[in-house]
């Protein structure tokens, strides 16, 4: 039995942090008497109208909603909210760590530039670039990076070890008081396990030079548990210029106590180096300049590293539930990219390098308590979130990774504080409401190599939230949510005054914070035996803004936008050993102002779908077959140029032996679809082309059919 099996056992336990939950009245210590009204309700409600709400979408046996200090029946929730177990994540075949997150309904995770760069994310009609407006946290630590060398909100998840995932908590929309920056489209909270039932040793080898080794185990130390894991990956890929990925990854974690009274201390280390075949001009392939897997600049690539220390602490008492999370992260990244070839510099080419070195400090604290107000059960949560980034960031012109000149280089200190609170009231057995408020304050200082672009910036924003849950009736609940949210901009854009290249051309400053507004209505039902289904209809608006462009070091305008969509999520337990799932999402994304260029949002997907079957038990045969559809997208504002759609299937088959060995075969891109991971449309110039460049599609192809064989053992 392998890592996925370990997840099932681990999730079933209650010894995990930071999943902090106040016990509901039915299970509190005897020193706290049960509220009389709850006792009476439990006796009088009929069998078809249970007192507990319908469990939100359950993936792999984990109850929905995050570790946010509160009993499940009082939690603010939405039709699109769910929690996915590590067992389900690892039951699916995927080619890279980021793709493991495609277990989230409606989320597309692609890669356009090597196996060490952050993935590109798509959700709810957003091309989220490398993470903007999709908040990702691992073990309570933020993955998104503000004022990043490559792009605002850059979220590199390559350090994640999927086999260690306990759960992925999913919330979408700006409706939750404890979700702040980068969370307007969605927020993912990934928790690691504290203890493995048995130690794991596995090796994977496959097509295109793929090699991966993993060793993980846990043991009792004192009154707690020590967990350690080490991962190594080498990979070339199908590219004419091999990726030459060299990744090392490690986790060391000590835990004591339970999820409500205990703590964890974690250390993580990650290092990666790679070459990258960036997106290439389609005309270069069509004209035979390069092959489908060729490169137009063989020196593109990068190096990255990440070190972190984090701690989670939780304590419960008759006064409620408290928890604290603290962390320090040190990360570095150096990227080399050339997207336009010889457009800007016909002699040396357009390769540029982006550098980001930073140390991040953070502290999050929250407290939840129950109270009866006028006979109404309520739960109130209050919280504090702080973060400080000490950053060295730069943009350079390069040739074959050698620096030619500095576009700009800055020292940045940036911090933010978020105060939040919400109260959930259970008015009747079929009605509960939540109101919340959040106040965010951001401030920082930029010291640049161009004095005119140095300075201070600060901003604050208040964001109210609200939610309502009706039901259950016949195992069905109805949800309504609305709220204001925000995202931050690169602080360099808030202090800029002149173009960093010519030092003369005036530049408009960007707002440090930008408002978002959203709402959602939905339904979740388990009326049919074995089927859990949810439907959510949403709208999300963003104000107009100026954006800082990391690839150029300057600012450009962005127009106000609206996205209206629907998500349908289903999971059907056909048999005890077989499960079907189908997720379908449609979004209409448009700019809301008038512009002759058009009102379509480039890169915004309309249709996204995923589905499949997984099967297997504790021993014997197991497997999965999954399909993912990524619909066509407009590539320019008038929709005259559109991307291809893609439909990719992955498959898995394996056998678990009685002696704890597992043999597993994954087949990626099962039908060898000749499609693209990503497509863009812009100007570039190949040698000999007009000096003004040629507008063309630029594509990064999906990897062809590949097989990977895994041998794993537990001991």
Mean pLDDT value across residues 253-266: 95
Strands 210-221 and 200-206: antiparallel
Mean pLDDT value across residues 142-160: 96
Residue 429 has pLDDT above 70, yes or no: yes
φ/ψ of residue 126, rounded to 5:
-105, 130
At 72 the pLDDT is: 42
At 10 the pLDDT is: 41
φ/ψ of residue 561, rounded to 5:
-145, 160
> How far, in whole angstroms, is CA 23 from its chain's centroid?
28
Q: Please tell me the total number of residues recorded for the chain in this structure.
A: 715
- Contact status, residue 284 vs residue 277, Cβ threshold 8 Å: no
Nearest to 524 by CA among 472, 476, 584: 476
Helix (H), strand (E) at residue 202? strand 200-206
- Contact status, residue 579 vs residue 614, Cβ threshold 8 Å: yes
Sign of the Cα pseudo-torsion (107, 108, 114, 118, in order): negative
At 20 the pLDDT is: 33
φ/ψ of residue 452, rounded to 5:
-65, -20
CA–CA separation, 146 vs 580, rounded Å? 39
Q: What is the rounded average pLDDT for all residues in the chain?
A: 89
Mean pLDDT value across residues 543-548: 65
Alpha-carbon distances of 605 from 121, 500, 538, 563, rounded to whole Å: 11, 34, 15, 11
Omega before 353 within 30 of 0, i.e. cis: no
Alpha-carbon distances of 89 from 165, 169, 629, 710, rounded to whole Å: 8, 12, 18, 17
Task: Say how many C-beta atoms besides its own lie within 10 A of residue 505's C-beta.
Answer: 10
SS3 state of residue 463: strand
Q: Set out the domains of the chain in order of their start, with CATH numbers.
A: 3-714 (2.40.170.20)
> How far, in whole angstroms, is CA 106 from its chain's centroid?
12
Residue-wise pLDDT tens digits, 286-336 = 999 999 999 999 999 999 999 999 999 999 999 999 999 999 999 999 999
Partners of residue 392 on adjacent β-strands = 357, 411
- Contact status, residue 328 vs residue 361, Cβ threshold 8 Å: yes
Helix (H), strand (E) at residue 212? strand 210-221
SS3 state of residue 208: helix
Residues 6+ apart with CB under 8 A from 93: 624, 626, 650, 651, 652, 666, 667, 668
Q: Could you tell me which residue, 32 or 456, shows the higher pLDDT? A: 456
Sign of the Cα pseudo-torsion (485, 160, 208, 338, in order): positive
Helix (H), strand (E) at residue 90? helix 86-90
Residue-wise pLDDT tens digits, 28-46 = 333 333 333 333 333 322 2
Residue 99 DSSP class: G
| Ramachandran bin of 442, using left for φ above 0, alpha for ψ from -120 to 50, beta for the remaining angles | beta
φ/ψ of residue 193, rounded to 5:
-75, 160
Strands 280-281 and 154-155: unpaired
* The model scores a pTM over 0.75: yes
Task: Say how many C-beta atoms besides its own lie within 10 A of residue 43's C-beta.
Answer: 7
Mean pLDDT value across residues 539-559: 73
Return the ∠ at Cα 185 (arms to 304 and 8), rounded to 5°: 70
Partners of residue 201 on adjacent β-strands = 215, 713
SS3 state of residue 4: helix
Residue 183 DSSP class: -
What are the tokens at 404?
A: 């030619």
Residue 244 DSSP class: -
- Contact status, residue 488 vs residue 513, Cβ threshold 8 Å: yes
> How far, in whole angstroms, is CA 100 from its chain's centroid?
10
Residue with tokens 């929730």, as numbered in its chain: 77
What are the tokens at 391?
A: 């950053």
Confidence of residue 657 (pLDDT cuts 50, 70, 90): very high
Residue 122 has pLDDT above 80, yes or no: yes
Residue 14 has pLDDT above 50, yes or no: no
Residue-wise pLDDT tens digits, 88-99 = 999 999 999 999
Return the ∠ at Cα 357 (arms to 356 and 362), rounded to 5°: 115
Residue with tokens 């933010």, as numbered in its chain: 416
Sheet holding 694-701, edge to edge: 280-281, 694-701, 676-684
11-15, 153-157, 318-322: which range is least confident on average?
11-15
């Amino acid at each position: 039995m392998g890592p996925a099996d370990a997840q099932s056992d681990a999730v079933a336990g209650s010894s995990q942090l930071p999943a902090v939950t106040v016990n509901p009245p039915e299970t509190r210590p005897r020193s706290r008497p049960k509220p009389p009204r709850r006792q009476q309700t439990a006796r009088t409600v009929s069998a078809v109208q249970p007192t507990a709400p319908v469990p939100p979408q359950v993936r792999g046996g984990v109850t929905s909603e995050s570790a946010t200090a509160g009993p499940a029946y009082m939690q603010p929730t939405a039709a699109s909210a769910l929690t996915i177990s590590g067992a389900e994540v690892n039951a699916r075949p995927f080619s890279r760590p980021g793709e493991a997150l495609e277990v989230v309904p409606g989320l597309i995770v692609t890669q356009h530039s090597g196996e060490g760069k952050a993935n590109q994310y798509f959700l709810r009609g957003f091309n989220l670039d490398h993470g903007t407006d999709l908040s990702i946290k691992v073990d309570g630590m933020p993955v998104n990076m503000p004022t990043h060398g490559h792009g605002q909100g850059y979220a590199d998840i390559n350090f994640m070890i999927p086999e260690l995932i306990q759960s992925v908590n999913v919330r979408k929309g700006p409706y939750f008081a404890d979700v702040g920056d980068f969370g307007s489209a969605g927020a993912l909270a990934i928790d690691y396990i504290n203890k493995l039932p048995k130690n794991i040793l596995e090796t994977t080898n496959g097509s295109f030079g793929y090699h991966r080794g993993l060793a993980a185990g846990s043991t009792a130390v004192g009154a707690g548990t020590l967990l350690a894991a080490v991962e190594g990956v080498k990979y070339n890929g199908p590219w004419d210029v091999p990726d030459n990925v060299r990744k090392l990854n490690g986790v060391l974690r000590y835990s004591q106590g339970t999820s409500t009274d205990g703590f964890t201390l974690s250390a993580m280390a990650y290092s990666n180096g790679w070459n990258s075949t960036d997106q290439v001009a389609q005309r270069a392939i069509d004209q035979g300049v390069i092959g489908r897997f060729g490169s137009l600049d063989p020196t593109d690539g990068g190096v990255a590293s990440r070190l972190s220390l984090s701690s989670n602490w939780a304590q419960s008492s008759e006064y409620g539930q408290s928890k604290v999370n603290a962390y320090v992260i040190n990360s570095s990244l150096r990227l080399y990219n050339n997207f336009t070839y010889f457009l800007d510099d016909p002699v040396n080419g357009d390769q540029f390098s982006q550098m980001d070195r930073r140390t991040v400090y953070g502290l999050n604290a929250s407290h939840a308590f129950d109270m009866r107000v006028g006979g109404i059960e309520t739960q109130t949560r209050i919280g504090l979130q702080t973060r400080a980034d000490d950053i060295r960031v730069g943009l350079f012109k390069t040739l074959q990774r050698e620096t030619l000149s500095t576009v700009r280089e800055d020292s940045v200190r940036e911090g933010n504080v978020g105060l939040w609170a919400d109260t959930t009231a259970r008015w009747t057995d079929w009605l509960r409401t939540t109101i919340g408020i959040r106040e965010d304050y951001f401030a920082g200082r930029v010291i640049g190599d161009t004095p005119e672009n140095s300075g201070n910036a600060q901003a604050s924003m208040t964001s109210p939230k609200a939610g309502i849950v009706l039901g259950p009736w016949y195992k069905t609940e109805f949800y309504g949510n609305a709220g204001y949210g925000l995202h931050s901009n690169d602080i360099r854009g808030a202090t800029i005054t002149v173009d960093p290249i010519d030092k003369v051309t005036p530049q408009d400053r960007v707002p440090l914070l930008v408002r978002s507004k959203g709402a959602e209505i939905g339904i979740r039902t388990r009326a049919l035996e074995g089927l859990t289904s949810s439907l959510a209809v949403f709208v999300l608006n963003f104000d107009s803004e100026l954006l800082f462009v990391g690839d150029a070091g300057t600012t450009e305008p962005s127009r106000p936008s609206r996205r209206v969509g629907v998500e349908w999520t289903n999971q059907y337990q056909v048999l005890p050993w077989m499960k079907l799932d189908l997720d379908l999402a449609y979004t209409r994304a448009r700019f809301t102002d008038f512009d002759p260029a058009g009102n379509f949002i480039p890169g915004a997907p309309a249709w996204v779908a995923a589905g499949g079957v997984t099967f297997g038990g504790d021993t014997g045969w197991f497997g999965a077959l999954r399909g993912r559809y990524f619909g066509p997208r407009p590539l320019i504002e008038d929709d005259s140029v559109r991307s291809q759609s893609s439909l990719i299937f992955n498959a898995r088959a394996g056998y678990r032996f009685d002696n704890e060995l597992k043999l597993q075969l994954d087949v990626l891109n099962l039908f060898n679809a000749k499609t693209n991971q990503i497509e863009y449309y812009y100007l570039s110039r190949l040698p000999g082309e007009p000096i003004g460049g040629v507008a063309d599609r630029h594509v990064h192809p999906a990897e062809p059919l590949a097989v990977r064989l895994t041998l794993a053992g537990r001991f």
